[in-house]
A and B are shown apart, each in its own frame.
Chain A
Amino acid sequence: MAHAYTPGLKVLPLTLIKKKRVLPIPGKVLVSVGKEVDALDVVAEAELPGKVYSVNIANRLGCEPSELKNYMLKKEGDAVKKGEVIAETKSFIKFLRSQVEAPITGTIDSVSEITGQVLFREPPKILPLKAYIKGKVVKVEENFGVEIETEGTFIQGIFGIGGETNGEIRVAVQTPNDELLSEDIKDTDKGKIIVGGRHAGLDAIKKAIKVGVHAIVVGGIHDKDLRQLLGYDIGVAVTGSEQLGTTIIVTEGFGQIRMAEYTFKLLKTREGEKASVSGATQIRAGVMRPEIIICGSPKLDVKRKDESRTWMEIGDKVRIIREPYFGLIGKVSKLPPEPTIIPTESHVRVLEVELDGGEKVMVPRANVEILEE
């Protein structure tokens, strides 16, 4: 028995899925425990404080900040309409009076006698929080959100772009080793989750965006294409807020990498069903991976699996995640306990992997991840 340093990505046909849905600021929870919700139902909402605008009214009136209160027609907390006169100098002759109008519709937040500045605030905006998955509300955290529970298929990707979405699954290629081409994406794919094989190039992704595909799930993409799509290099892996138009979920990594057979087959069995997907990825404290959630049981003879092992055993299926065998899948055949010298001359703990073709290779334990099936 030995610890796997890189926990595997979960690819579970049937498991208990719990999702916390939490507002960024306190608000109102709209559902109660026991309520069955759909992915698009709003479960909570918050009022986002309106944008603040500043105007230096003392400067505009040509008075000292300390005199400002004498000329204000409105005070802190008062509602104002855009264009409404809110400050005015006093003069018997009308055309000698200076006036300042409200730049927005909202309220007056503060009036400073030091700076002469007045802060206006727009009305608050309602921020709705959707359920994201179909399921049952099992917990309510007052003012903040809920926990939703469901049983279904749960697949994690390694990297994603774009936020939460949903749609019907369509597998657009024949095998997990096929390239997803632009011609594989049809006009009828609008609103769908499209599953490809080893790679999707720039043309295919652009076509998906044009058609209105909600998400692409694929083995690998090239970093160069990603840069071109976004217009910048992703520096730190904190994603989910990109506005590409299509969410992208990469299951294996960067480059052309055959999608794991198991993942591909599982998605194939759920073709035609509705899925909730999120591209949000965060690879630091509190790791978050992109995910595909499909409620309900697949048409397979599977038992529900909720707990996963944190160690590795001989016979475990692993994916090698670094050169020179990057992307290859095999089974652990030896787990030597002593540190071994690898070609870089580092002393590290290694394991032997029997690749799918029968060849046996030694790799550092840090360079494999368990395939959690």
Chain B
Amino acid sequence: MSDKDLNVIIATDCGSTTTKAILIEKKGDTYRQTFRGEAPTTVEAPFEDVTCGVKNAIIEVEELSGRKILDGDKVITPNKGNTGVDIYVSTSSAGGGLQMMVAGAVKAMTGESAQRCALGAGAIVMDIIASNDGRADHEKIERIRQLRPDMILLSGGTDGGTITHVVELANFVKAADPKPRLGASYKLPVIFAGNSAARDKIKEILDEKTALMITENLRPVLEKENLMPARHKIHDVFLEHVMQQAPGYPKLMKMVGAPIMPTPMAVGLMTEKFARAKNYNVLAVDIGGATTDVFSVFDTIFNRTVSANLGMSYSVSNVMAEAGVANIMRWLPFKIDEQEVRNRLKNKMIRPTTIPQTVEDLMIEHAVAREALRLALDQHKLLAVGLKGVQQERSISDAFDQTSTGQSLINMMNLNYVIGSGGVLAHSPRRVQSMVLMTDSYQLEGITMLAVDSIFMMPHLGVLSQISEKASLDVFYNDCLIKLGTTIAPVGLAKEGELILEWEIETKEGKKIDGSLRFGEMYLVELKDEEAEITLKPLKGFDAGQGKNSKFKSKIQGGVGGILFDGRGRPLELPKSEQKRVENLTKWFNKINMYPEK
């Protein structure tokens, strides 16, 4: 469909709890998001039909906009006057999203490639089975049987290489005789994307017991990944098998004008489009109640990870278990008993929809958020190892050392833009809170621009970008992103109070402001939603992005927060003594007016 024929668009995202609809209209030459509606998702009993929630959300848009969009179960197309839309698109993560198990011959090689492949397709990877994963054979079989994934991605072996390991894995799958999560009487879909020489043998083993599909090898040679064919196959299976079993999805698939996409896949796509359009290195995070998704594009290489048990409500207690209570408590600017923090977080876990009423409680939530974001990024760094989805070549020598070479890919100094979404970042009462949460947990370095997607529109825009890149980018810049501002954090360590940076900002109107930053201090400079030029002159061996003590000019972005000058040094080390730590945190938070007075 050309942009000429595309004037009115309705898009929905069916989440686990809420279905959100947005209306996009072309105003002059630009697409803008004009109305939105939401309704509870209706996948579970008593409705068990996702389209009820979709229709309710669209009806809200109809009421607000005065445009008639629905005719019974159908979306009216094309738009004429005040009736209908030109296209309806949707994403979905309801019912637990897409859950997969992957298998590869060697855990750090084809196992990791298969994991990247599944994650990029928007799946949650429940487990990775590999010949060398350290478990006994019967444990692997037991595990395959216990987990009831939506599908299995089986890889292993380079083309023409040994087929022994992948045949062994196929035998384990056969012995486990696993059942799919939805539709117990159906055969479990298995996608084989391994050594092409093993195809006949794999067919012989798995054809009868599973719904076997064969696609190109995702690791045809050791130094090359070829993830796209398997990723497309996953999407096909998602639409043809998984979605068909989910309540109401066959109906939804008839309503849409383009294939339904798993929500994370759409967010990933939007992140990639934004990074490419601006030529930025981008990190996008969606911190939800149960899971945290991290997307990155560094030097055009896209990666996605999902931390299935790091979140702010259902998984809040798991953040405590993984980070440790002490790491959460280090962010609190007051003294509190450990038992009290433990009980409060467990109470949030069992009553996940409650919200903080006191400032103290909000600070505890923010402390948990910092640790959840930090852990999710740590997990992301382990998997973001530099092989691009389509095809990327690496030399034989570093193919054996994937994880360590991968770690160098996420370089905080080279990061240009961070986008946060999810309740704690998108709806923080003061926007500066979101800025500081992301600055602290990611330990941003040099110059980093920050924004939040306040109503989580990225899924809608991601699926729309397949139809019209212009429409999705227009809405992304103008309506989706709430620009927070820029964090300036020179890297280095010094004595408290030492001068570490001099700076000057020149706005577009030619107005100049300047200042300096001392070690151990943090402050905000107001700069509204506009671009400006900054000159940075780091001192005392500090590096603001161009090397130690190197003076340079760069573009920065203002926003509702402003420019955050962070002179606490990198790596950021909080004082060991509780009293000094509480003093410092109180000083920083007060200086930037982060919280209301208690």
Interface residues of A (CB under 8 A from B): 5-6, 25-26, 49, 51-54, 65, 109-110, 112, 114-115, 117, 119, 121, 158-159, 222-224, 226-227, 232-237, 253-255, 281, 283-286, 321-324, 326, 342-346, 348, 363-364, 366-367, 369
Contacts and interface: CB of A to CB of B under 8 A. Distances in A.
B179 interface: yes
B138 A51 contact: yes
B168 interface: yes
| Most chain B CB atoms below 10 A, which of A112, A114, A283, A326 | A114
Contacts of A323: 344, 356-358, 360-361
Given A25-B179, A110-B171, A344-B596, A369 B138 contact: no
Contacts of A348: 355
B323 to A, nearest CB: 11
Question: Nearest 9 pairs between A and B by C-beta?
Answer: A235-B318, A233-B321, A345-B429, A223-B342, A254-B343, A54-B137, A114-B167, A254-B346, A322-B354
A175 B68 CA distance: 60
Contacts of A366: 353-355
Given A237-B317, A344-B357, A366-B353, A253 B429 contact: no
Interface of B: 16, 43-44, 95-96, 137-138, 141-142, 145, 163-165, 167-168, 171, 174-177, 179, 184, 201, 290, 309, 314-315, 317-318, 320-322, 338-339, 342-347, 349-362, 427, 429-430, 596, 598
Given A115-B168, A253-B351, A346 B343 contact: no
| Most chain B CB atoms below 10 A, which of A51, A117, A343 | A343
B342 A253 contact: no
Contacts of A254: 342-344, 346-347, 350
B93 to A, nearest CB: 11
Contacts of B309: 235-236
A52 B138 contact: yes
Contacts of A5: 353
B153 to A, nearest CB: 20
Contacts of A158: 350-351
A286 B357 contact: no
| Most chain B CB atoms below 10 A, which of A115, A226, A227, A344 | A344
Given A6-B354, A343-B358, A366-B353, A224 B339 contact: yes
B311 to A, nearest CB: 9
A12 to B, nearest CB: 19
Contacts of A367: 354-355, 357
Contacts, number: 165
Contacts of A345: 429-430, 596
Given A233-B317, A343-B596, A115 B171 contact: yes
A6 B351 CA distance: 8
Given A110-B171, A114-B201, 6 more contacts: A119-B171, A223-B343, A234-B346, A254-B342, A285-B96, A344-B358
B171 A112 contact: yes
A115 B357 contact: no
A345 B595 CA distance: 9
A356 to B, nearest CB: 19
Given A236-B317, A236-B318, A237-B317, A344 B351 contact: no
Given A53-B138, A344-B362, A344-B429, A321 B354 contact: yes
13 contacts: A49-B145, A51-B142, A158-B351, A222-B342, A223-B343, A223-B346, A234-B317, A236-B314, A253-B347, A322-B356, A323-B356, A343-B596, A345-B430
Nearest to B362: A344
A237 B349 contact: yes
Contacts of A234: 317, 321, 346, 349
Nearest to B365: A344
Contacts of B43: 285
Contacts of B177: 49
Contacts of A49: 145, 177
B167 A112 contact: yes
A142 to B, nearest CB: 12
Contacts of A223: 339, 342-343, 345-346
A4 B301 CA distance: 45
A26 B185 CA distance: 9
Contacts of B141: 51-52
A25 B180 CA distance: 11
Contacts of B167: 112, 114-115
A324 B318 CA distance: 24
Nearest to A341: B429
Given A323-B344, A345-B429, A235 B322 contact: yes
A278 to B, nearest CB: 16
Nearest to B429: A345
A97 B343 CA distance: 66
